[in-house]
Amino acid sequence: MGKLRIGIAGTSRGSHFHEDFSKVDGAEVVAIMDPDKRARQAFCDKYQVEYALASYEDLLNAGIDVVVIASPLQLHAAQAIDALNQDIHVLSEVTAAATLEDCKLLLQAAKNSNAQYMMAENYCYIRENIAIRNMVRAGLFGDIYFAEGEYLHNVTYLHYDEHGKPTWRRKETMGKRGCTYGTHSLGPPLDWFNERVKLVNCLGPGSHTEPAYENDDTTMMLCRTESGALITIRLDMVSNRPHNMGYYSLQGTKGCYEAPRVPGGTHRIWLTDYTQSKEEWLALPDVYGDFLPAELIDFPEEAKDSHHWGADYFMVKDFVHRILEQRPVAIDIYKSLEMTLPGILSEQSITRNGAPIEVPDVRKW
């Protein structure tokens, strides 16, 4: 196979994807699509593409091998299904779907397609999260049984457009209760545990910062995995505070991991196999040489200006190489839905005062 011909739906986030795909050998962005004429023109003023299109159907018919879905969240599943039905590979922004029914339809389309589906959960490609995953697999944490993930990011300025009309973020993430945008926080812990969520409970304190919003200022989602481990997820996209978009912790029988809660802090680990003192923390970068490939330690120039701490570049590169080499993608349809479904089911739990809701096993659908 020669270069992959890439088409991108959505020019706002799509511009970042264009930059990362352009750095990777074996891929070329040939087409973009956006219904907004001004957005298409602004994109073409900055980047060169063969086609700048107004409709998604035209994008799929532009001779592309891969479509990157960077559209509003409520369109992700339908657009992915249309692409898979035409045997076009899909790299979709999070979340994979917004409803349980869409998850079922998306799974069926992926199973029937000759193309691959991957959800672009870039947080699984953050350097620190990869190091922790490799250490878990090496057994350094022992039996792991608890993890945390937090995404605290005030984006109220994105909830209305320049004309005062509500955007998709206002409708889809703040227009209903629950953990409506939780895969950034849940994805890496699920990658570490390598199992699915079986039960989910969700609670919130109500709306205070933006009283007119339907969703709570902060949402807490408790996830019980099949083995009985507990993962707690906090989502907050309105509170007035500095951002903290990537906090995680992990606890096992032989050690623990703590990400920093403020910018500039140190990622720390405590491991019985490494640490002499019961109170001595190690800086996670001190063990990178044992648990990361050289590229992730040295950070190539291509990754240094990529979004999400370089994770976007590494994700795109991995996706391209796997498609070209005809290997399974890292976050396939099953893992994508396993990261997405707890948030969807949390909407039921929070309206039932935190009652536990069973999460279906997509591998048995």
pLDDT in tens, 128-174: 999 999 999 999 999 999 999 999 999 999 999 999 999 999 999 99
C-alpha pair distances (Å), 210 with each of 157, 176, 179, 326: 12, 13, 17, 48
> 350: domain range?
123-292+339-358
- Tell whether 171 and 75 lie within a shared domain: no
Q: Is residue 322 in a domain?
A: no
- Tell whether 39 and 135 lie within a shared domain: no
Q: Is residue 249 in a domain?
A: yes
145: exposed, middle or buried (Cβ count in 10 Å: 0-12, 13-18, 19+):
middle
| Residue range 49-59, pLDDT digits in tens | 999 999 999 99
- Tell whether 222 and 73 lie within a shared domain: no
Q: Is residue 167 in a domain?
A: yes
Cα 301 vs. chain centroid, distance in angstroms?
A: 23
So what's the pLDDT on residue 1?
59
- Tell whether 140 and 242 lie within a shared domain: yes
So what's the pLDDT on residue 278?
81
Q: 107: number of CA atoms within 13 Å, CB side? A: 19
Q: Of 90, 122, 154, which closes a domain?
A: 122
User: Residues with Cβ < 8 Å from 108, sequence gap 6 or more?
Assistant: none
- Tell whether 143 and 75 lie within a shared domain: no
Report how many domains make up the chain. Answer: 2
Q: Is residue 300 in a domain?
A: no
C-alpha pair distances (Å), 81 with each of 73, 89, 130, 238: 14, 10, 30, 32
161: exposed, middle or buried (Cβ count in 10 Å: 0-12, 13-18, 19+):
exposed
pTM (two decimals)? 0.97
Q: Of 122, 139, 171, which closes a domain?
A: 122
Residue 206: which CATH number? 3.30.360.10
Three-state secondary-structure class, residue 185: helix
Which tokens in the block code for residue 37?
């004429």
So what's the pLDDT on residue 277?
79
- Tell whether 67 and 154 lie within a shared domain: no
Q: Is residue 111 in a domain?
A: yes
- Tell whether 65 and 168 lie within a shared domain: no
Residue 85: which CATH number? 3.40.50.720
Q: Is residue 105 in a domain?
A: yes
* Pick from 53, 58, 81, 61: nearest CA to 69: 81
User: Residues with Cβ < 8 Å from 317, sequence gap 6 or more?
Assistant: 20, 23, 24
Which residues in the chain land under pLDDT 50? none
The total number of residues written for the chain in this structure = 365
d(CA 37, CA 159): 21
- Tell whether 56 and 86 lie within a shared domain: yes
- Tell whether 162 and 287 lie within a shared domain: yes
Q: Of 122, 153, 176, which closes a domain?
A: 122
Q: Is residue 323 in a domain?
A: no
243: exposed, middle or buried (Cβ count in 10 Å: 0-12, 13-18, 19+):
exposed
Q: Is residue 98 in a domain?
A: yes
Which tokens in the block code for residue 355?
């009652």
So what's the pLDDT on residue 263?
84
- Tell whether 344 and 257 lie within a shared domain: yes
- Tell whether 113 and 238 lie within a shared domain: no
- Tell whether 173 and 229 lie within a shared domain: yes
d(CA 177, CA 350): 7
- The radius of gyration computed from the CA coordinates of the chain, to the nearest angstrom, equals 20
